[in-house]
Chain A
Amino acid sequence: MWQIIVNEWQYYFRSRLLFSISAGFIIVLVLTVILGQYQSGIQKDKYVNATDHLRGQWEKIEAMNPHSAAHYGTYLFKPGGLLNSLDDGINTVTGNVLRVEGHVQNEIVYSEASQIKSVSRFGRLRSSLLLQYIVPLLLIFLAFASISNEKESGRLRLLLVQGAKLSQIIFGKILSAWLYGLSLLLLVFAAYLLLNIDSLTSATLIRSFFFFVAYALYYFVICGLTVYLSARWQNATLALTSMLAIWILWTIFLPAILISYSEAAYPLPSRDQFKTAMKEDRAKGIDGHNPLDARNKELQEKVLAEYGVDSLSQLPINYDGLRMQADEDYGNIVWDKHFGNIREILTQQKRMIQLAGIFNPFLSLRNASMGFAGSDNLHHHDFLLQAENYRRVFIKTLNDEHAYGGSKTGDWGWKADNAFFKSVPAYQHKPRDIGAIVQSYALDLGLLLLWTVVIFALMLTSTPRMKII
């Protein structure tokens, strides 16, 4: 089999057309990695500068009422993972900036697609686009005639008479095309690793490994199926037509159909519905029996009893801070309920899309690619959760200062000093645990592996029955 692979590679190198296409494509691939890295670098620098600038402004507050500071708020920026430069997934359409302030949970805004028209129309040129769409096409064009040409020319008989087994020839051709795909993949990774050599962590390397494995498995499926069709059909044109039809079905039609189906099966509320429901629950009470006024009255009585006084003016603390925090706490419960619902629906949609990988390995590849690149919905929601958790700590710190910092109820003119504002912790984003990511995408990797095994089994079982003449 090794001889067959070496011979195929001699063809790859000696065919002027193929060599030119490969050389041109390699240049485009490397440029895309560099461009992706450059764009990610610019974005990262912008976010770092903006974060530093905002923090600097915050720490320069000399004296301000904590509640005013809560409305002054701050902004959080969604951090980009290192692998985002290879696959930016949903990042171009989701927002990147989240305003953190008291009373409200704002929506993430300023997506790249909303800022740059070309991105909204055409998407951004990323390595993943080439690796998911163009490389498989190249592999199809490389392998569609691999066996049918040997048959049509009569050379297959000569090869078999020389002692080569049909299974060896078929697997030799599959592996040759697969190694070509892997070489392009390795090139992308080599360029990416070289550009990020100083920032690599074990988590990034593990992500990169699984990212690589997902593509490697998918390429095997593409090469295996193409060579199988080449061996199955009597002429190369039929093999090419069949494989292109599969490629179109897998990459264009099925994803759109399956995603639409999952959205219909597990519908998300519209933005208006979501906002209205949140507003109503916050004002009327989650169950409609605990309105805002009643909650306030109950808290007031509880605090007065706790301090053993009859009126708010007798309290040694500022009741306004406690009331605002109680309102925040209730708002948080409402948010958890609604955001939890959204998260549950998205999880169900994701699971359905993942299971659709049984019919379409391209979906499994895309899921795994975005997942390991950290640019999928799970990572996005993880950021939203961390940002919300930070908002809660941030606002609670300000409300506590308002309540216990030394002011009395109704004293809205009271100001906290600079030392306090400096002591408010800055947002620190924690990357998702790599074990959890692997667990989330084990199904996609498993289905890609299943496809590989199925292709392998198909070859083994069908080879003895294949027509040679």
Chain B
Amino acid sequence: MIKIQNVKKSFRGNVALQDLSLQVNKGEILGLLGANGAGKTTTINLLLGFVAPDQGSLHINELDVRNNTAEVRQRVGYIPENVNLYEYLSGLENLDYFCRLAGLKYSRSELAGFLDTTGLEGAAHDKKVAEYSKGMRQKVGIAIAYAKKATVYLLDEPASGLDPLASNELSGILRKLADEGAAILMASHDIFRVREVCDRIGILRSGQLIQELAAADVTANELEKLYLKFMKS
């Protein structure tokens, strides 16, 4: 579970987040919509412990992020906009390396199983990542988080630059992870993808959560209108 309470964060006088509070429960996907500079990535960096809040608290699975950064990171799967893997390693080798860093040793078949779960074709497992498309890299990124048995996933623009098919596959994977009990926070610009995959949607503007609603309560078109209205106002 992810819990953010009254968090404020500024960088050299520029306010990035103002009194942000939100919660993502187990089995739930929360989509954070917002323009560039709205505070989406800062929220994720705060949850990963890369920056400290000026005020407020952040908890992941009841653990305070600031005081338990290492333990929190053990439970979190992080998928950035661009999963930059080691190009001289294959997808399988990358997965193995990142798992070993997390103290996890899997057999080849187990590693292949994780990649299969994310939909990466078996023929691609042993190819060098240099030959991978962005979507394939994202899948390896998800496999890294999945193999870690993460209970919380933080995704920063995960579908950016993906083709529609890859983007659709990603949605399916995220839904599956949530159905298995993961709490997922996904920052995105993609209104339609967020509407499709998330349970709840939050709209961030200038570091403030100005609207939170259930995805089921709005259509994609309504969400787009609402989003544009907030952005223009």
Contacts and interface: CB of A to CB of B under 8 A. Distances in A.
Given A154-B80, A161-B78, A14 B101 contact: no
Nearest to B96: A3
Contacts of B99: 162
B73 interface: yes
Interface in A158-198: 158-164
Given A10-B89, A157-B48, A157-B50, A163 B84 contact: no
Interface string A1-17: 00110010011001100
A469 interface: yes
B84 A11 contact: no
A153 interface: yes
Nearest to A468: B50
Contacts of B144: 158, 162
B111 to A, nearest CB: 15
Given A163-B74, A469-B45, A158 B84 contact: yes
Contacts, number: 61
B231 interface: no
B61 to A, nearest CB: 15
Given A3-B97, A157-B80, A468-B50, A163 B86 contact: no
A155 interface: yes
Q: How large is the interface on A (under 10, 10 to 19, 20 to 34, 35 or more residues)?
A: 20 to 34
Nearest to B77: A161
A162 B148 contact: yes
Nearest to B72: A161
Contact of A3 (B50, B84, B88, B101): B101
Nearest to B82: A154
B214 interface: no
Q: How large is the interface on B (under 10, 10 to 19, 20 to 34, 35 or more residues)?
A: 20 to 34
B48 A162 contact: no
Interface string B98-113: 1111110000000000
B88 A163 contact: no
Contact of B88 (A4, A11, A158): A11
B203 to A, nearest CB: 24
Interface in A351-392: none
A154 B74 contact: no
A14 B102 CA distance: 24
Contacts of A158: 78, 80, 83-84, 98, 141, 144
Nearest to A159: B101
Contacts of B88: 10-11, 14-15
Nearest to A469: B50
Nearest to A153: B84
A247 to B, nearest CB: 27
B218 interface: no
Q: Which of B76, B77, B80, B101 has the most CB of A within 10 A?
A: B101
Contacts of A15: 88
Given A162-B102, A469-B51, A7 B74 contact: no
Interface string B135-149: 000000100100010
Contacts of A161: 48, 73, 76-78
A161 B78 CA distance: 7
B85 to A, nearest CB: 8
Contacts of B83: 158
Interface of A: 3-4, 7, 10-11, 14-15, 153-155, 157-164, 468-469
Given A154-B80, A161-B73, A164-B101, 5 more contacts: A10-B89, A157-B48, A158-B80, A158-B83, A161-B78
